[in-house]
Amino acid sequence: MASYTDASMSQIERVGIPTAIISGDRPASIEAKKTYHSSPAENDDNAAGATIRFTLPCSPNTYLMPDVNLTFDFNNTVACCFDLDASCLIERYRLFHGSQLLVDIPEYGRLSRLIEDVTQSPENGSTVSNLLKFAPTGVAVVADIGAAGRMAGANAAIPYPDTTYMGPGAHHCVVPLMCPLIGTLATKAFPGHAATAAPLRVEIDLVSNLKGVVSNAGGNVYNITTTQLQSTYVQVSSQAQSLIDAAVGGVYSLNTSSYAHSQANIAAAAQSNNILLPFSYSSLKHVVTGLYPAVAAQNSFNISGRGRQTIDQVFYQIGASRVPSAPMNGPIEVAEHLCKCFGVSTNLLQISNYLTRANFTLAATVIPAVLPAGGALGTLVGKFAMGLDLEAWGATSSATRIENGINTTALQMYLNFTAGAGLAASEVHTWGCYDMLVSFTNGSAYARF
């Protein structure tokens, strides 16, 4: 293909159009340049519970690549550790285009941890994640919160595997955003040239003092500074943009998926539970659920610590149908369906992940609301979760549907599980993954689901 020149772009390179920009394999050679962009937060110094806001520009002939990172310095005044990694600091994530809310993911840290437990290999957790998110090494060691590798103060005998000690000071962290449009869940670049009516706005709520950071000190133990969003833009020449417009017929849209959240509380010893899941979407892909300590405490792993709570049977009620038709019995069947939610094979070729027999099948409450003094060495925090891939029961794709999940707009949905006598009072957090179509009209982006 012939090359083009554009006087407005002085440092042009010849690069291939990546499949992240246009669908299909089109090995065209175009003129473009890649730039790295840093968006500072509106308020640089943010304490626990604050909302951080960023602006990402949308300009002609530009594409925002799906690799946006949140970078900051974590400043702690006392010895502490993350609840596994720095992503636990994010309570809620929202993405706006002008006044249009495109993405809203509550309980972001818990969902991120659940997905990584099922899909990420321990090797990655001990290399890439450790480097970027100040995560543990992946090797089970006694917690390094206080002196001599033990929790400080009254909890000096409490160990915890897979933690990273942080003495008082500043610790630089990089958290890749789990976003279906500009982050790790995205499959295509965001066409900023089709959304020039307004910039993108990112809002991140930080967790409160009682979540995310494990410490024996009360009150505010941290703030974050030097907060930025690091992003990558690809700018193409006007002639190249014309070629891309012709290739897609001048119509830009993005097919992706996002998550909705629902929370319920269950009482101790409630052996039979029926929980309403208020997810109303035209194509619900899967649902995942975790049980967490009912009372948040600063020295409790209430984001990563998901307990089985003696659960022995699980099924979902969708309208008049029970799915699966026979309840999932025991943790092994539950794990099988959980893995299918994320496309993780359950045969011998399964990728390595963080789910082990020890941490997934523990029947007892694996993490109390407040760690007691004098706990036993080797205490494990569980990674039990429930889930169901709904596309196996969905309808066939058609011109009136976005995808082939289950249409729940006119159906009520319930999670049902039974447990033994050891069930403790818990928070039940459920996320529903739904298909989303983002379309662009007159320079504005709109989400349909």
Strand partners, 233: 35, 64
What total number of domains does the chain contain?
A: 1
Structure tokens at 13: 């390179």
- Residue 310, by phi and psi: left (phi above 0), alpha (psi -120 to 50) or beta? left
Q: How many residues does the chain have?
A: 449
> What is the SS3 string spanning 142-197?
CCCCCHHHCCCHHHCCCCCCCCCCECCEEEEEEEECCCCCCCCCCCCCECHHHCCC
Q: How far apart are CA 409 and CA 302, in angstroms?
A: 32
Average pLDDT over residues 343-358: 66
Structure tokens at 147: 């002196």
DSSP at 348 = T
Res. 154: pLDDT tops 50: no
Amino acid at 59: S
pLDDT at 362: 73
Residues spanned by the domain of 358 = 13-448
Average pLDDT over residues 171-194: 93
Amino acid at 82: F
> What is the SS3 string spanning 287-302?
EEEEEEECCCCCCCCC
Classify residue 247: in a domain, yes or no.
Answer: yes
pLDDT at 147: 37
Answer for the pair 146, 214: CB distance below 8 angstroms, yes or no. Answer: no
pLDDT at 91: 96
- pLDDT by residue (tens digit) across 9-34? 444 344 455 555 555 555 445 578 89
Q: CATH number for the domain including 81?
A: 2.70.9.10
Structure tokens at 132: 């970027």
Identify the residue with better confidence: 99 or 393: 99
Write the CA distances from 226 to 40, 48, 444, 449, integer angstroms: 8, 15, 31, 36
Residues above pLDDT 70, as percent of the chain: 73
Classify residue 2: in a domain, yes or no.
Answer: no
DSSP at 358 = H
Classify residue 6: in a domain, yes or no.
Answer: no
Classify residue 130: in a domain, yes or no.
Answer: yes
Res. 221: pLDDT tops 60: yes
Answer for the pair 428, 275: CB distance below 8 angstroms, yes or no. Answer: yes
Res. 121: pLDDT tops 80: no
Instruction: Give yes or no for a cis peptide into 176 (omega within 30° of 0).
Output: no
Highest mean pLDDT among 78-87, 122-131, 363-372: 78-87
242-270 as b/e, with b when 16 or more CB fall inside 10 Å? ebbeeeeeeebebebbbbbbbebebeeee
Classify residue 5: in a domain, yes or no.
Answer: no
pLDDT at 287: 97
pLDDT at 3: 38
Q: pLDDT class for 183, splitting at 50, 70, 90?
A: very high
Classify residue 8: in a domain, yes or no.
Answer: no
pLDDT at 165: 63
Average pLDDT, the chain: 79
313-327 as b/e, with b when 16 or more CB fall inside 10 Å? bbbbbbeeeebeeeb
Average pLDDT over residues 228-257: 90
Classify residue 151: in a domain, yes or no.
Answer: yes
If residue 336 lies in a helix (H) or strand (E), which one and from where to where? helix 330-341
Rg (CA), the chain: 23
Highest mean pLDDT among 122-136, 285-299, 421-435: 421-435
Coil, helix or strand at residue 392: helix
